[in-house]
Amino acid sequence: MKMAPMPLPLFFFFFFVFLFPSLFSLQENSQLSELTTPPSLPSPLAPALFVIGDSTVDSGTNNHLLTLARADHPPYGRDFDTGRPTGRFSNGRVVVDYLALRLGLPFVRPYLGLNGKVEELVQGVNYASAGAGVIFASGSNLGMHLSLKRQMQQVSDTYERLELGLGEVAAADLFTKSVFYISIGTNDFTHYYFRNTTNIRSLYLPWEFNQLLVETIQHELKNLYNLNVRKVIIMGVAPIGCSPHYLWEYNSVYGECVEQINNMIVQLNFAMTYMVHKLNMELDGAMFTFCDAFEGSLDILRNRDRYGFVSTTDACCGMGKYGGMIMCLFPEMACKNATNHVWWDQYHPTDAVNRILADNVWSGKHAEMCYPMNLQNMTTPKT
């Protein structure tokens, strides 16, 4: 879920996208490093959490890149633990922050913000980069980003460093017992297929494009397996046809979702479910699970009163109809209370939604959306 570029005077654009955020990033790095595991579990349920993906789980990677897809400026992070922007595309936490705490681990720090020391890697790394896609070119219109292929190279580099620092046996054991979380694919639609970049729609019909995404992800899952990874959560693409940006772009009258967009997402998630089931059958010891973010998000949209949401169409921070025309730039653009909003900005959900989705990934608390198992079942010691 990413931001669309917009016309701005050159100086104004340069200052607020690249210089202004840096005033907050330096102090935030030191504050975030002080966040430790709450005293909730006697010992972690997994030794580490490794995160691969896009802006749905980026925890600060893009703070280090020259790109439009950055969230290191207010009001992003205003409801985060430190009260300051971190690079997360949310008013507060993202899903993997809640899952890290469930596992008894600290928040996972971005790979690009580390020095490469082994002690920085043993509890997990976040490789996710806003603007990234399964397809290498996806999101290129936003500037620099780390594609799925590049993030996989970083995973391989991490494994090699762990082998050198811990030894081959210990490194393999760490990856085998750790949880890997993958959340990617949105930009392949928002910033590639739907924009018809490189005339892609004349080359691939919707079902063919979905198949390309599934086959690419399947290939990378096998690469992870070859690195001794066994526990993987694959998060599906959310209903982006209901996001404020597409409600605005398609001139939705009453806030109805854009069905032609959502239908393509449903088909992708269905194919992903089957692919994950097939890999579990083929790969000995694999514990791969697919979590359907589409169904989990629709449950929230359809039952907003049960969850305490007032707005399911308008972005808390944005401009234009539904707040979907312009990305979130200034604190003055944001609503006062994000907790009763489903959407934080053009594409991204609020902390409140991320908490609900994390509950579902963990245990199916509000809605069953993970198949064949949830994260709690995946990590519970066998008796």
Give me 314's structure tokens.
Answer: 């308008």
In 3D, which of 148, 188, 143 has the Cα closest to residue 52? 148
Q: Cβ contacts of residue 188 below 8 Å, gap of 6+? A: 133, 134, 135, 138, 209, 213
- Catalytic residue positions? 55, 345, 348
CA distances from residue 43 to 38, 160, 233 in whole angstroms, order as listed: 11, 26, 21
* CA angle, 75 then 77 then 81, to 5°: 140
Instruction: Give the whole-angstrom CA distance, residue 181 versus residue 98.
Output: 12
DSSP class per residue in 308-361: T-SEEEEESB-BSGGG-SB---SGGGB-S-GGGEEESSSS-B-HHHHHHHHHHH
Identify the DSSP state of 104.
Answer: T
Exposed, middle or buried: residue 104 (CB in 10 Å: 0-12, 13-18, 19+)? middle
Q: Cβ contacts of residue 298 below 8 Å, gap of 6+? A: 239
Instruction: Give the whole-angstrom CA distance, residue 340 versus residue 160.
Output: 45
* CA angle, 168 then 170 then 171, to 5°: 65
Instruction: Give the whole-angstrom CA distance, residue 316 versus residue 121.
Output: 35
